[in-house]
């Protein structure tokens, strides 16, 4: 396996108000397993209270503020290993803008949009404008091919994100977890000619054929490595890319170089 930097662009942490007794253990486990597989930077988000006091995908302003603050605390505790996305709910636009400004001022490096509002909705425009002005990417939670509504989410797919990206060509977007559920081929075909949308490889889905189509449709230049909730699946995808015959220079791009070009964290 290729050594060197490895940036996980889709990590999550928990906190003491998420309703899980094992929250600290899970956080420690992510860092421990990250050490074992060579993760040098976790770029993470916390979606409010993870459903404990407001819905995971429709988090309240207060829960988002607490979660983002908890992530900044982790960032301070592990300054070389953790960076954070500011998670916001675009339905509370004024609060979202303020939360983004606060987060970026305190060292967060991206914006996380869950499934609180369809990505194509004009309500997201102020957030996309900030992302473009401040040079930070937006990680958009996605369902690969939205064929119906999904309970407890206002879910978006690649076509919704393409609409937003088209209105904001100066902003950078990341389609979340191509292996996170749904028809990944639909997303990849949709993103072929959309230069300001990157694809993160995270998710528990490890379908054979998916990585090949990623390379074919969005090219190695727009692939970002990530894990989401299954670090074992992330490691498997790295090994599968190597087994596909992706050369060392291309692997470097997926492992960290592309992420560094999107986030500009100075990590190398």
Q: Does 184 bind other proteins (CB under 8 A)?
A: yes
Annotate 126-141 with three-state secondary structure: HHHHHHHHHCCCEEEC
Distance of CA 73 to the CA centre of its chain: 19
Q: Does 207 bind other proteins (CB under 8 A)?
A: yes
Q: Does 209 bind other proteins (CB under 8 A)?
A: yes
Question: Out of 77, 80, 151, 208, which residue is the one contacting other proteins (CB under 8 A)?
Answer: 208
CB 139 to other proteins: min, Å: 19
Contact region with other proteins (CB under 8 A), list: 55-63, 88-96, 110-118, 141-149 = 141-149
Q: Which of 15, 131, 134 is nearest to 69 (CA)?
A: 15
> Among residues 132 and 206, whose Cβ is nearest to other proteins?
206
Q: Which residues contact 149 (CB under 8 A, 6 or more apart)?
A: 155
Q: Does 20 bind other proteins (CB under 8 A)?
A: no
Q: Does 148 bind other proteins (CB under 8 A)?
A: no
Q: Does 163 bind other proteins (CB under 8 A)?
A: no
SS3 223: strand
> Among residues 98 and 185, whose Cβ is nearest to other proteins?
185
> Among residues 192 and 239, whose Cβ is nearest to other proteins?
239
Rounded Cα distance, 78 and 167, in Å = 36
Contact region with other proteins (CB under 8 A), list: 101-109, 119-127, 233-241, 259-267 = 233-241
Q: Which residues pair with 174 in a beta bridge?
A: 139, 198
Q: Does 36 bind other proteins (CB under 8 A)?
A: yes
Question: Out of 5, 17, 26, 135, which residue is the one contacting other proteins (CB under 8 A)?
Answer: 26
Q: Which of 150, 154, 148, 102 is nearest to 123 (CA)?
A: 154
Q: Does 50 bind other proteins (CB under 8 A)?
A: no
Query: Cβ(64)–Cβ(48) under 8 Å?
Result: yes
Question: Out of 102, 121, 240, 252, which residue is the one contacting other proteins (CB under 8 A)?
Answer: 240
Distance of CA 94 to the CA centre of its chain: 23
Contact region with other proteins (CB under 8 A), list: 69-77, 110-118, 201-209, 252-260 = 201-209
Q: What are phi and psi of 22, to 5 degrees?
A: -95, 20
CB 16 to other proteins: min, Å: 17
Query: Which parts of 13-163 are beta strand (E)?
Result: 41-45, 82-88, 110-113, 138-140
Q: Which of 41, 42, 54, 58 is nearest to 114 (CA)?
A: 58
Binding interface with other proteins (CB under 8 A): 26-27, 29-30, 33, 36-37, 143-145, 147, 181-185, 204-209, 211-212, 229-233, 235-237, 239-240, 243
């Amino acid at each position: 396996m290729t050594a060197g930097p490895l940036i996980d662009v889709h990590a999550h942490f928990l906190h003491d108000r998420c309703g899980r007794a094992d929250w600290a253990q899970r956080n420690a486990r992510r860092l421990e397993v990250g050490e074992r597989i060579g993760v040098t930077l976790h770029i993470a988000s916390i979606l409010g209270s993870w459903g404990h006091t407001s819905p995971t995908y429709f988090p309240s302003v207060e829960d988002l503020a607490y979660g983002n603050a908890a992530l900044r605390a982790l960032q301070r505790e592990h300054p070389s290993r953790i960076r954070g996305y500011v998670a916001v709910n675009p339905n509370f636009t004024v609060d979202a803008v303020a939360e983004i400004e606060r987060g970026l001022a305190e060292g967060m490096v991206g914006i996380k949009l869950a499934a609180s509002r369809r990505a194509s909705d004009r309500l997201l425009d102020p957030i996309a404008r900030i992302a473009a002005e401040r040079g930070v990417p937006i990680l958009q939670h996605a369902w690969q091919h939205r064929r119906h509504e999904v309970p407890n989410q206002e879910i978006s797919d690649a076509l919704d994100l393409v609409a937003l990206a088209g209105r904001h060509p100066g902003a950078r977007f990341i389609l979340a977890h191509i292996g996170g559920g749904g028809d990944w081929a639909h997303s990849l075909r949709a993103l072929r000619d959309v230069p300001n949308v990157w694809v993160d490889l995270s998710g528990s889905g490890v379908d054979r054929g998916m990585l090949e189509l990623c390379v074919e449709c969005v090219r190695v230049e727009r692939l970002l490595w990530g894990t989401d909730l299954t670090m074992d699946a992330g490691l498997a995808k790295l090994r599968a890319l190597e087994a596909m015959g992706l050369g060392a220079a291309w692997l470097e791009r997926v492992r960290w170089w592309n992420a560094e070009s999107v986030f500009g964290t100075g990590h190398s």
